[in-house]
Chain A
Amino acid sequence: MTAGGAGDGVAHGTGAQEHADRRTVLRQAAGVSIATGLYGVSFGALSVVSGLDVLQTVALSVLMFTGGSQFAFIGVLGAAGSPVAAVSTAALLGVRNALYGAVVAPLLEVGGARRWAAAQLTIDESTAVAVAQRSPALSRIGFWATGLGVFVLWNVTTLLGALAGARLGDPTRWGLDAAAAAAFLGLLWPRLASRRAQGVALLAALVALTLTPVVPAGLPVLAAAVVAVLAGWRAPDSAPASEPPG
């Protein structure tokens, strides 16, 4: 301790910096967890009024644990779509999580049971906080803190929402069908930054509306996926102009 001199001072300096960085990451994780966890209430309530029971609703949040897919699953079932269509839509909406997994896996470097836990916690929020950090160590803290924080809060609030939803009775009287539509719009909104995304959203909406009167419930949403595959197949022509680097 006494022989440290200047070296000690430097070590102390980086230690304090690390400590501050860690606190910043944890604060980010807490903020994201609370904001995301809160709308588990709306998922829980909507799921129950869509016809699932409280236990099925909680099972979705614990086992599926990816908001977009969960909302889609209950949305398709609630609109009298077939179970197959509900499962397919939920799975397709979850495809982006595979991409997130590929991004965070090299940062986490875990195997075995921890890899399974990391996979389950791989969602929009944990990935976003992880990749926003400037060192792998901070990314790891961000990923686990956000993933676990959202997981705990999302499941608690899902249960609360499901219990409340079970007492509501007629969902349309409370505007819960409109709330579900707004939830989808809220999930879509942050992804509409590029022209290409806006075009795909518009086309997908048109395809779904056009097909609704002619095919069974659930299929119009699945058909909209084709628009994404066709639009994403080729690279954007004007990539440098529309998407600045960084």
Chain B
Amino acid sequence: MDFLYDLGGHEVSQITAAGSWTRGEIYAGGRHLGTYSGGTSGTTTFTFSDWLGTERARSVPGATTTCETITSLPFGDGMTTTGSCGDPSPMHFTGKERDSESGLDNFGARYDSSQYGRFMTPDWAAKPMGVPYADFGDPQTLNLYSYVRNNPLSRADINGHCWKWAQSFCNWANYGVWGDEKAVQAAETTARNQLSAQQQMRAANGQSPLIFNTGQQANGHPILTTDVSQMSRNAVFDTINSGHDVTWGGQIGLVGGLVLYRGGGFEAGPKDYRLDAQGNVQTGYGISVNTDPSKIPQRFQGNIRIFNESDLPPELRAIQRGARDPGHFEITPRDSGMSPQRYQELLNAFGKELEEDPE
């Protein structure tokens, strides 16, 4: 038996070893809509899912009642199916394929056991890191086997990596924004409203914007590359699935970190930050950067630096500031107690590093 998967990792066709097509799955916008089963003379069933994408009922075209109902417990355990059309699709818990032999759910990166309410293997990351996708403010994330931090009634895993990462992945896939819902809301307006301006800017810089606009792909934020032909959507998803940071064609990509633009140099003046009572730079204040180059003040146009947030020195971070422009960030000391001199030293070193290695 062979399976074909679409670019979003969804199983779309099942084919026998002899080459006969036996089942097809229909997806739109990343959602499972229905199933063609029984080969070319088979039937079509439509799928009805709950709020997490777990498939709860199926019906045939024209019917006024369901032909299959599916019940299960929060982790997808104790699943039962009843009805006249059998169980035409293996897609069940949060829309993921349940393997008929092992009973495990295929989440892409890992298999999850509904019976045990946990993944069968620890979470992993292609890039070396201490505890993959861990948030030290949330100790639940330190358990590399847990499924959606043991909160399966309100969360669904997208791809088998930890929930927080998966949420970011989902948001990237749907909106082209890496981050939580707040980040999506913030970036969406900026990205969409300024798309035309961004394209012009990037074209002027010798870059070609590549915009994904089909179902499961990013549809709002361009990904930069100097050579569009080097990329395919397969390449994008292969790379995403294997890690976070992406580099193509000598330019940084959006995925895996926030791409930021800085107008002018990295000199911080008295207008750029506030000092605390000890004369140190207050954390939460710093030089301005923007996710949208067209929002860089006019006087800096022509002198714009581009970098990825993840490249900042560990003592610094970029945080969104202000209500007027969701794309406006400031590079600020991560912790309090940093002198203006040290702050400037770090900025200078970072600016120099960018000049020497713009990638």
Asked if chains A and B come from one complex, the reply is: no
B binding-site residues for A, Cβ under 8 Å: none
A binding-site residues for B, Cβ under 8 Å: none
